[in-house]
Chain A
């Protein structure tokens, strides 16, 4: 029995947004009497952190602290249309819609503040929850006071509407010519594996990735996507199938005792670096990083297995049985 070590690499691109476009999302923002902002979205946070990053984008654009922004999602009675959470589109689409809505709300806020501070709106700045006159930081009012004045003195609404849509691209049926994406994120993953030539088992020792995702809104959550995707990709490469004898229907899996997914004990060492090359059309330069992190580990692991034992297993998942059969074939000189 010998344990063989191998290293493989894989580089991938990933398109941001629904293929061909035509997938709008809207946002409404309104200011409450005491200066809190409510962002109304019909979007869904699947656990990837949409509410958090959208809160950051809204706070950044409005110029108020993050805790003054509430992100309300998940009710079609109270929020306008959003196409949905898929296609690595959420931060890009909804972020752009929220920036547009926040700019309109901010404009309304500044118009009220201008009257209160006896200055022109274009001379005002909003930062840290206060509105002040450019170059004269002592001439200021809190957003709290401006909001109160708007509601009960001026009878003005501080609110904004936003939408983002990349118009749907046609597709030429003869050539396939089309505009499929808004931008592309990129990554390279290096997999280090050990292959046991007696049992056929593959152990992923380490996954090392460099991701380029435009601007990161929340680096820790980008890291979370990379770690989660690395494990999901590893499982796709080595463990998962609902039809173990595809295309046969036999042994169709029906539970987690037959369909094995990784546990914490299976997680390899995961290291990553993130590069930032802002996109031209994402909110503050964002690109989508949701789905792609599960992609690059798969071919990197398969390439590492070849590097370790000299066989190409190109039929996923790479089970011990397939590895042993390939090694037997190789030994037999095929």
Chain B
């Protein structure tokens, strides 16, 4: 590897001193004179039909500047993935007919202080009339035909090219099982978890004299947020100016475009600056989580440790709406076979909807879950056939030049090398034949 100059040097990070001395300016540090505060009225039930939204008493409260309902949203579809072709629209920005999860936004109160906004929101919640329905919560139940369809298209899964799952088909998995000396099965379940950023979601919008809106945002993706906000507001994107670039913890939790559209609408309606900052409770209970994922693995293995067939069924709990889950399941599908050379692979991966707070992007989503299942499965195989866990991985690790189940030739493989380096790091002596292995020791001959 060619030695370079400044690339490769551990120079001090540019934002470190500001962060640790409290001098970094975050979005919540932005204040404007005459600024209003926003609070959201959220669904008290996991599933229900909205009979009546009565905002009159709240609107009459002193200090309340405006109440925003679905009628105030020019294009009331929350469509974050429409720009990359994921449809149909399934999530309203503000609910008006039905609610699909506890905490779903119904209307927003804008007031002179945060306390007044909170009191007025509580009043609207009291005046709200919702007919509660039994929620669908279990993914295995949700995909059964007798389960009530909570999605308008008539079932509870995302439809990929007309199919209710994404699939991978490589080789002949049943022939692989027939040939195998051992069948090893395992079921793996991950729970929904929270990004838990130190900084919760915050947005400040200032209407400018020239008619534009300046949006202070802690999004992880400024243009993505701007373009999606413009679609919801039905304005050209250049009416908006997004200012961000400093985030107090992202981890995938701040790519949902969840605060900016409503805060913009509030600022347009009141012609005053508006701030919306989420409480810790809102961040936990109503921001997207990492999805719960259930995976069932069935592997066919030879006595010498070679995995000759792998069949996986995976169910991802997307919660009530798409968010980034249909994308995550596609990434999941491609990664479910793992970094191993397996000639026969069958994967069915489902994106399933339930009446739970939506899941969405989170650090490594789609891959984290697959890696967990695969690597525990690898140890199960090793224990079942009586082989060392280092050896089972080194034997099966994919090599450069081999074909992955997605039909891409492996070209940057170094799994073997990291195994060897990790063994060395912890003082675990690998036998000579494993030390001699390399990611480049495949030369086009595959005896399988």
Contact = CB atoms under 8 A, between A and B. Distances in A.
Interface in B177-191: 186-191
Given A11-B397, A84-B224, A175-B170, A218 B187 contact: no
Interface string B124-141: 000000000001011100
Contact of B364 (A14, A46, A173, A178): A14
B422 A9 contact: yes
A76 B260 CA distance: 15
Contacts of A65: 6
A173 B347 CA distance: 12
Given A174-B167, A295-B367, A312-B380, A11 B354 contact: no
Interface string B317-352: 100000000010011011100110000000100000
A55 B334 CA distance: 33
Interface string B281-321: 10011000100100000000000000000000000010000
A42 B221 CA distance: 8
Interface in B389-441: 389-390, 393, 397, 405-408, 411-415, 417-422, 424-426, 428
Contacts of B84: 22
Contact of B166 (A176, A183, A287): A176
B194 A253 contact: yes
A285 B4 CA distance: 11
B220 interface: yes
Nearest to A77: B241
The interface centre, meaning the residue of B10, B186, B194, B251 with most chain A CB atoms within 10 A of its CB, is B10
A243 to B, nearest CB: 6
The interface centre, meaning the residue of A9, A45, A51, A209 with most chain B CB atoms within 10 A of its CB, is A9
A291 interface: yes
A149 interface: no
A276 to B, nearest CB: 6
Contacts of B242: 75-76
A298 interface: yes
Interface in A1-31: 7-15, 19-20, 22
Nearest to B168: A176
B422 A189 contact: yes
A212 B418 CA distance: 7
Contacts of B376: 299, 302-303, 312, 314
Given A42-B222, A294-B363, A314-B188, A56 B169 contact: no
A44 B7 contact: no
Interface in A34-59: 42-47, 49, 51-52, 55-57, 59
B372 interface: yes
A190 interface: yes
A181 B409 CA distance: 11
B247 interface: yes
Interface in A47-106: 47, 49, 51-52, 55-57, 59-60, 65-66, 71, 73-77, 81-86
Contacts of B371: 10, 12-13, 295-296, 298-299
B368 interface: yes
The interface centre, meaning the residue of A60, A85, A176, A248 with most chain B CB atoms within 10 A of its CB, is A176
Given A84-B223, A317-B191, A187 B418 contact: yes
B333 A59 contact: no
B5 A240 contact: no
Contact of B330 (A47, A86, A171, A243): A171
Interface stretch (B13-21, B28-36, B66-74): B13-21
Interface string A141-169: 00000000000000000000000000000
Contacts of B408: 178-180
A190 B422 contact: yes
A14 B280 CA distance: 31
Contacts of A44: 219-222, 244-247, 250
A118 interface: no
Interface stretch (A107-115, A132-140, A255-263, A324-332): A255-263
Interface string A208-233: 11111011111111000000000010
Interface in B26-48: 46
Given A243-B191, A252-B285, A253-B194, A188 B223 contact: no
A212 B368 contact: no
A291 B363 contact: yes
A76 B224 CA distance: 11
B247 A47 contact: yes
A15 B372 contact: no
B85 to A, nearest CB: 9
A254 B161 contact: no
Contacts of B5: 59-60
Contact of B196 (A259, A275, A284): A259
A254 B289 CA distance: 13
Contacts of A256: 196, 280
B102 A249 contact: yes
B81 to A, nearest CB: 12
Contacts of B138: 247
B222 A82 contact: yes
Contacts of B378: 10-11
Contacts of A259: 194, 196, 284
Interface in A225-282: 232, 236, 240-243, 246-249, 252-256, 259, 261, 271-273, 275-280
25 contacts: A19-B330, A19-B334, A47-B15, A76-B241, A84-B219, A84-B220, A86-B252, A180-B335, A183-B411, A184-B413, A187-B418, A210-B420, A221-B13, A240-B191, A243-B292, A249-B137, A254-B281, A255-B281, A259-B196, A284-B4, A294-B364, A295-B372, A298-B368, A302-B372, A303-B379
Given A46-B220, A208-B425, 5 more contacts: A44-B250, A74-B222, A76-B226, A190-B425, A298-B372
**Nearest 5 pairs of A and B residues by beta carbon:** A74-B245, A84-B221, A299-B375, A176-B168, A220-B10
Interface of B: 1, 4-15, 19, 46, 84, 102, 135, 137-139, 160-163, 166-170, 186-194, 196, 219-224, 226, 240-252, 255, 280-281, 284-285, 289, 292, 317, 327, 330-331, 333-335, 338-339, 347, 354, 356-357, 361, 363-364, 366-368, 371-376, 378-380, 383, 389-390, 393, 397, 405-408, 411-415, 417-422, 424-426, 428
Interface of A: 7-15, 19-20, 22, 42-47, 49, 51-52, 55-57, 59-60, 65-66, 71, 73-77, 81-86, 171, 173-181, 183-190, 208-212, 214-221, 232, 236, 240-243, 246-249, 252-256, 259, 261, 271-273, 275-280, 284-285, 287, 290-292, 294-296, 298-300, 302-303, 306, 312, 314-317
